[in-house]
Structure 1
Amino acid sequence: MMKLTTKAARLLDATPGVHLHHGRLRLALKVPGRTAPVRKSLGLLPTEANILYAGNKLSAMKIDVQTGNFNSDEAAFWHKHFPNDPRHNIVNRTLRDYFDQYRESRKFDLAHASLRGLESVVSLLEPHRLLDRDLRDINHRDLERVRNAALTTRKSSTVQLYFTQLRAVIDEAIKDGYLEHSPFVRLRKLRQSSMESDPTDAVEPFTQAELGRLLAACKSENARQMIGFLFWTGMRPGEMKALAWEDVDLDAGTARVNYNLSRAGYIKPPKTKAGIRTIDLLPAAVTILRRQRELTYMLPERRDEVRLLHNKSRIELRRRVFLNPDNQPHHNPELFTSHKSWTALLRRAKLTHREPYQLRHSYASMMLMIGAHPAYMAKQMGHKDWGMIRMIYAKWVADENPNYRDELARKLENLDPHVTPSVTMEREAIGK
């Protein structure tokens, strides 16, 4: 920060309305209709010449206020005195303009899903006629009205995601200086329902018996193989569909997750470094891959486009492990392209409705139940640490295993004889 000279300090004290803010000169001007002075930074260092310039500018602005120029055309007033400040550019910038600017500035690093999300936000705003309004005229009440309408047809978590993207767009105007304050500053925080805010409530895993019913209800071997593999590995469906034989080592019993399948049909690296991982395959998963090897291993390799950040890509020759019924690579990351197909499968298996993602939860819950360490599970499932594992699955494990305390006490040889033994322990005692 520049140090004031003695002469400059005296000159600053003698110039009312001009003061320092973060080491730069700032003006304070009283204008009609405002109780507090409007403060405008000049961005100038506090030299003697700059202080004199600031005083003269403030005097000229006061004259324009006194002669009524401010009241007659406020926008022109600010543009006259701060012509290089984009906030006072006479050309209005609309919310739609900033959506376009955001897409352009982020075109090299926004994922396909994020671009689709932006289009959903635009569709959400369209009926409320906000897109073609000057962004400076949009306030927190406008945003609240849009959000309340959206909540009537969408989950709060979905609305929250849309508004996160909208905020990123509006932040472009803050960076440009077109807005001083974001309308989000005064927007109350959205409260989520307990069902949506507690991730443990979303865990409804399949048991091994239910898996058997599910597989028996499958009409194709292709579906049976994929469902079984997800259950026994905990992989995401997109990771499974992007898996290639080059990533598999059956002798070592491992599979390397290098890519995920996008909704646009190309493969891409996982979102985080933790997503790139080597999975230890259980014997059941190895059995599935051995059967799959008979089906797809000898098929010719294909050119896979790998999309990277910053609009870069590369071509790799790979042999996908799981192919569609026509022996072609999958182009959709969901387990089944049609949601109705999954629903019909559950109905034939006489199972309550659960999303295919519960196959991943099934693997994690099952492994934790038999004592797998959460840190190990975090690596298996692609989490950077085991905090997410603890948050999602800890409550479920405790609820589903009421004898867990007794099991731990037995391992420590520290049972309390005055506590009623569990049913499991009674049965073991009878067996002995």
Structure 2
Amino acid sequence: MASAKAKNGQGSVYQRKDGYWVAQVYIGKDDNGKPKYARKTFKHEEDALHWRDKALVEHRQGVFTVPSTVTFAEWLDIWLTQYVRPHVRPKTWESYEYIIRLHLKPTLGTVKIQALQAAQLQQLLNQRHQSGLSSRTVELIQTTARTALKQAIHEGIVSRNVADYLRLPKKATKEIRVMTVEEMRELLTVADDDRMGTALHLLLGTGMRVGELLALTWADVDFQRGLIRVNKATALVKNVGNTADADQKKTRVIIQPPKTKNGHRSIPITEDLVHHLRRWLLFQRRERLLAGPKYKHRNLVITTKLGHAVSQRNLATKFHRLLAKAGLPMTNLHALRHTYATRLLEIHVHPKVVQELLGHGSIRITLDTYSHVLPELKKQAIGKLEGMMNTRAQWQQPVSQ
């Protein structure tokens, strides 16, 4: 057996009986004080020598990773189970799991994680973008890969994060549908004859997210001060229990606190909306008395006739029916939040105040989302300067003949 051993601390290369070459480097001691070595096998001696020299340099620099046969798919499963699920919201876990199951595993799952290249991930992003996948989903593919590989670095499995070097496709600008004041009135006029009318009044009068609205309780409504306190939201998540049970539903609704501290907020409401809510509360109480024991009292503001919570899907269906009845263009419920924000900006409410009312994480989000309103506001602002600098310099005087 030929060998090419080096001095202590410099690693070694030797040939096995089967003809393969083994490169090894000393990487420290284990918990029992015994020497630990990292080894890798090659067909050719020059490849083994090259790997040994490279490994020694990386070990001195503190970036060396022990050779591993773990595939990208195997690591993603470990990451999801041990690092994601116990520490994030159910909806966040579902997003990561969805991206891994549908996009990362089918294309790159069999690749050894230490052999994964940025070009492979870039090709995946490009293919998904060209297939018509939304830019938001393409971005989530990159985010998922980058976050999983970042943890792999901490575990010493890889030395660099190849997902850091990707280029995302340019985001397509989404047109925001904003209702006019006349459309708002037409919608609410029709909605007032429907028990879901209160939901639309609240969405247009507070800018709350739909999930926040459906979790709203009467304890969150301060009639005296004319305030609504937002401190929770509903979310539809997968049931992760015994799915073999035929009676168990695939999804369930949970109530959770806002994602960020900005989500916790108090929203002032108009006197008109206060009066509307008082009337609605009295109506609910009459329904409760008439229903008797069948009524499910949860103190929710938006309910069915028997007090049950309303799902986002059912509210959206009702909303579309009311739009059709009013003869208005189809849109989604989120348009009511956009409409609320746009009306505030149109009456010159400072964007910082709008940010706080909407619960955005930063004012940049507000300005980027509602940039369509800003050109007209800028024009109005400049118009107010008219006459402020109306002076006449000597050179502007008529020249005498």
Normalised TM-score (structure 2): 0.70
Return the alpha-carbon distance in structure 1 between the equivalents of residues 356 and 153 of structure 2.
39
Following superposition, the deviation at residue 204 of structure 1 comes to: 2.8
The 5 A counterparts of 1:178-327 are 178-187=157-166, 189-196=167-174, 202-218=175-191, 221-264=194-237, 265-296=253-284, 319-327=299-307
Q: Is the 8 A contact 1:248 1:254 kept in 2?
A: yes
Q: Residues 203 and 399 of structure 1: is their aligned pair in 2 closer, same or farther, counting only changes over 3 Å?
A: farther
1:378 corresponds in structure 2 to 355
Q: Is the 8 A contact 1:232 1:284 kept in 2?
A: no
Q: Which runs of 5+ in 1 are unaligned?
A: 1-15, 19-25, 32-37, 45-52, 197-201, 301-316, 419-432
Q: Is the 8 A contact 1:255 1:281 kept in 2?
A: yes
2:141 corresponds in structure 1 to 162
2:365 corresponds in structure 1 to 388
Following superposition, the deviation at residue 243 of structure 1 comes to: 0.9
Return the alpha-carbon distance in structure 1 between the equivalents of residues 341 and 391 of structure 2.
33
Equivalent position SS for 1:266: strand
Following superposition, the deviation at residue 122 of structure 1 comes to: 2.3
Q: Residues 229 and 369 of structure 1: is their aligned pair in 2 closer, same or farther, counting only changes over 3 Å?
A: same
**Cα-to-partner distance string for 1:131-181 (whole Å, 9 max, x where unaligned):** 233222332232123222322131112210232022212222222111122
Equivalent position SS for 1:354: coil
Following superposition, the deviation at residue 369 of structure 1 comes to: 1.6
Return the alpha-carbon distance in structure 2 between the equivalents of residues 285 and 40 of structure 1.
73
1:109 corresponds in structure 2 to 87
Following superposition, the deviation at residue 396 of structure 1 comes to: 1.0
Following superposition, the deviation at residue 245 of structure 1 comes to: 0.9
2:18 corresponds in structure 1 to none
Q: Is the 8 A contact 2:73 2:110 kept in 1?
A: yes
Following superposition, the deviation at residue 233 of structure 1 comes to: 0.8
User: Structure 2 counterpart of 1:162, which letter?
Assistant: I
2:240 corresponds in structure 1 to none
The 5 A counterparts of 1:358-373 are 358-373=335-350
From 113, 121, 126, the equivalent of 1:135 is 113
Q: Residues 17 and 137 of structure 1: is their aligned pair in 2 closer, same or farther, counting only changes over 3 Å?
A: same
Q: Is the 8 A contact 2:298 2:307 kept in 1?
A: no
Q: Is the 8 A contact 1:234 1:360 kept in 2?
A: yes
Following superposition, the deviation at residue 184 of structure 1 comes to: 1.6
Q: Is the 8 A contact 1:121 1:166 kept in 2?
A: no
From 164, 172, 178, the equivalent of 2:151 is 172
Percent identical = 21
Return the alpha-carbon distance in structure 2 between the equivalents of residues 289 and 219 of structure 1.
12
Following superposition, the deviation at residue 261 of structure 1 comes to: 1.1
Q: Is the 8 A contact 1:242 1:260 kept in 2?
A: yes
2:247 corresponds in structure 1 to none
**Cα-to-partner distance string for 1:194-242 (whole Å, 9 max, x where unaligned):** 515xxxxx43321221112223444962322111110011111111111
From 112, 125, 131, the equivalent of 2:103 is 125
Return the alpha-carbon distance in structure 2 between the equivalents of residues 385 and 43 of structure 1.
47
Q: Residues 364 and 416 of structure 1: is their aligned pair in 2 closer, same or farther, counting only changes over 3 Å?
A: farther
Following superposition, the deviation at residue 328 of structure 1 comes to: 0.3
Following superposition, the deviation at residue 291 of structure 1 comes to: 2.4
**How many pairs does the alignment contain?**
342
Following superposition, the deviation at residue 267 of structure 1 comes to: 1.0
- Could you say what the CA RMSD is over the residues aligned between the two structures, in angstroms? 4.3
Return the alpha-carbon distance in structure 2 between the equivalents of residues 65 and 168 of structure 1.
31
Return the alpha-carbon distance in structure 2 between the equivalents of residues 318 and 338 of structure 1.
18
Normalised TM-score (structure 1): 0.66
1:11 corresponds in structure 2 to none
The 5 A counterparts of 1:65-104 are 68=45, 71=48, 87-88=65-66, 92-103=69-80, 104=82
Return the alpha-carbon distance in structure 2 between the equivalents of residues 235 and 66 of structure 1.
64
Q: Residues 416 and 242 of structure 1: is their aligned pair in 2 closer, same or farther, counting only changes over 3 Å?
A: farther
Q: Residues 137 and 273 of structure 1: is their aligned pair in 2 closer, same or farther, counting only changes over 3 Å?
A: same
Return the alpha-carbon distance in structure 1 between the equivalents of residues 71 and 272 of structure 2.
57
Q: Is the 8 A contact 1:125 1:131 kept in 2?
A: no
Q: Which runs of 5+ in 2 are unaligned?
A: 1-5, 15-22, 30-34, 238-252, 290-296, 393-401
Q: Residues 297 and 223 of structure 1: is their aligned pair in 2 closer, same or farther, counting only changes over 3 Å?
A: same
Q: Residues 353 and 221 of structure 1: is their aligned pair in 2 closer, same or farther, counting only changes over 3 Å?
A: closer
